Structure 1
Amino acid sequence: MLRIHFTDPDLGRTRLAARPDPLWEIAASLHRLQSRKGAWAFAGWSRMARQRLREKKLDRQVRDILLRLYPRAEYFPDFLTPAGALDGFDAGVEAILATPPRRILQEVTTLDRTVGAPPWVGRLVEPSARRELVGLLRAYHEAVVVPYEEVALAKLEAERAARCRGLLDGGVDGMLSGLGPMMRWRPPVLEVSYPTQAADRDLHLHGRGLTLVPSYFNWAEPVAFADPELPPVLWYSMLHEPPAAGVDDPGKPLTALLGRARAVALHAAAAGATTGEIARAAGVSASSASRHATALRDAGLVTTVRHGPAVLHTLTPVGASMLRAAAARRRPGPLAPA
């Protein structure tokens, strides 16, 4: 259990990341390659990733280097996922290259003491070794993370919409209360369920605020920096769900009734979706997505609220009832990747 302690200034300085953290997505995706947890949600990605790593002759380096540096365990070095990566991949790898050797030595020593480390890991104090590592991270990122960037961004935008509704309804308390199920807000403490092997600890924000970073590849394993002196960041899972009945199979009742694109749009609106998110989910143009959303709104299935230059589509009670009825008819079967 991680207990994050807030003061009043921290509530005003807590924010939700506007984009995925590319270096954390690397770390979390490497954990997916080491675990069967959530395998149904990542089945398509896992097949693609293993194939592309073989094709690009990266599989051995990933196995011998990256999986050793990013073990799915209670610890891996903080310097591999710098907070600066929230400004993009290039900013993140520049932060890795600029990490002081003394800090790297401390963290790889902790890695060795905690889960064991390969003998070559100490070389990372050398700039040339870190440049080689950054080159491998870039190749891995382009091979298996970039192809899913649009999917991850669509989910993150839906997550931001849901958290913003919590903020509008109940302030920061309302936003933090909706972060479950791996997190529980008990003012002034956010309790975070950590992997069972990790020791309980407390993180006092001391007025610094907290940056919440939704992650596509994280699966029910929220995590913060091990070093409490680093900027307070909490990465957490955007929980994947099986697709609603009818979204992928034209023979299903909901798709037969609405058509595939409108069935996808209706499902997307369950979490709140902009026109751009609907377009990405359905694989159609923005203008087509707007027409589908208008048709659903005219039918009383969704409602639309303008927010600045964007609009947010959410379900009406009738639309929610339709989705529930379709889900109730779903027959057991293999779960598709999110």
Structure 2
Amino acid sequence: MAVLRIHFGVDDLARVRIADEPDPMWEILLSLHVLRYREVAEPLARWRRRVAPVLPGVVRSLLALAPPIGYSPDFLTPSSRSLEEGVEAVLRTPKRFLRADLELLAAPPTWARPLADGEPGPLRALGAALAEYHRRVLEPHWTHIRSAVEADRLGRVRGLLSGGYEELLRDLHPTLRWEAPTLQVHYRFGERDLHLGGRGLRLVPSYFCVDRPIMLRDHERQPVLVYPVNRRTTDRRHSGKLSALLGQTRAAALEAIGGGCTTGELARRLGVSPASASVHATVLREAGLTTSRRHRNTVMHTVSPLGVDLLNPVSLSVTD
């Protein structure tokens, strides 16, 4: 396996960031990969069985752009916090990137030729296909996906507070190797060096990423490292016990708060009224499981260290 060496400067370590939400475009691409893997472990195999009957017709065209082995076009995964933002970024992809990315695809479909020329019609069709796939295949499972990502992020943030950025990078995944000031990544595109040059690195925990972390091939774009969530911390086998302790709705509220959210966001995640979400947040705060901080007209809730221990009881003693 080839190695990509990511070279950090002092400014780069200060600009390492962990995404606080699942990136919808990366989850779309990587879930398409999972659909075509011969074997995957639970819970991904369970997800694949559940979505098989509802796969939309557009999945065939998307699969043609997302081979599970080899290169998938970088323009499919612009960094985004929402599906709408991500699809809009795809539609705005400069023509030179469209052409360059599709030329690297091992077996580009014939219908992709006008896409490579940046023709508006094919681009809009691709955006609509991405949105439909997300709505039909990922959105019904998005609460669980978000909980998995947030649980992983909580564990990383706790490690960051105790050991700093170098400890965070060292423990990110077993296939990574940190030798200051360089992070070595198993890489499928040959031996390469990436000098961050003050741009920092965006870390994206992903529910559908399997095996090992991945990066964009084009190193001129904003550096991003996508890595598998720690499934030992996201399996939620303790959820039944947690529900017995807190009640099902309060346990769900603690998980939904995850890496932090406002009362309104908590209400949307739980599917309850803002008033009910406020009551649940208050009970959790008074029990010492969360903290709340007012900022202007909103209240931001975060899970306390005690709450992290309840959500993630094995994260400090078990490693991947």
Normalised by the length of structure 2, the TM-score is 0.77
Say whether residues 1:176 and 2:169 are aligned partners: yes
Structure 2's unaligned 5+ residue stretches are 294-299, 315-320
Counterparts of residues 6-85 of structure 1 (less than 5 Å): 6-53=8-55, 58-59=56-57, 61-63=58-60, 65-83=61-79
Paired residues in the alignment total 296
Structure 2 counterparts to residues 1-338 of structure 1, below 5 A:
1-53=3-55, 58-59=56-57, 61-63=58-60, 65-83=61-79, 86-111=80-105, 115-124=106-115, 125=117, 126-194=119-187, 197-241=188-232, 243=235, 247-248=239-240, 261=248, 287=279, 304=289, 306=291, 308=293, 309-314=300-305
In terms of Rg, which structure is larger?
Answer: 1
Overall identity of the aligned pairs, in %:
39
Cα distance change on mapping 1:155 and 1:247 into 2, 3 Å: closer
Shift of 1:136: 0.9
Structure 1 residues 21 and 43 mapped into 2: Cα distance closer, same or farther (>3 Å)?
same
- The answer as to whether partners of 1:5 and 1:189 remain within 8 angstroms in 2 is yes
- The answer to whether the 8 Å contact 1:15/1:210 transfers is yes
Q: RMSD between aligned alpha carbons?
A: 3.7
Q: Is the 8 A contact 1:212 1:236 kept in 2?
A: yes
Distance 1:101 1:150, change over 3 A: same
1:247·1:263 contact (CA, 8 Å) conserved in 2?
no
TM-score normalised by length of structure 1: 0.73
The unaligned stretches of length 5 or more in structure 1 are 249-253, 298-302, 325-338
Once the two structures are TM-superposed, the CA of residue 10 in structure 1 deviates from its matched residue by 0.6
Change (3 A) 1:16 1:311: closer
Give 2:317's aligned residue.
none
1:177 deviates by 2.6
Report runs of 4+ in structure 1 exceeding 4 Å deviation. 242-248, 254-265, 272-294, 313-316
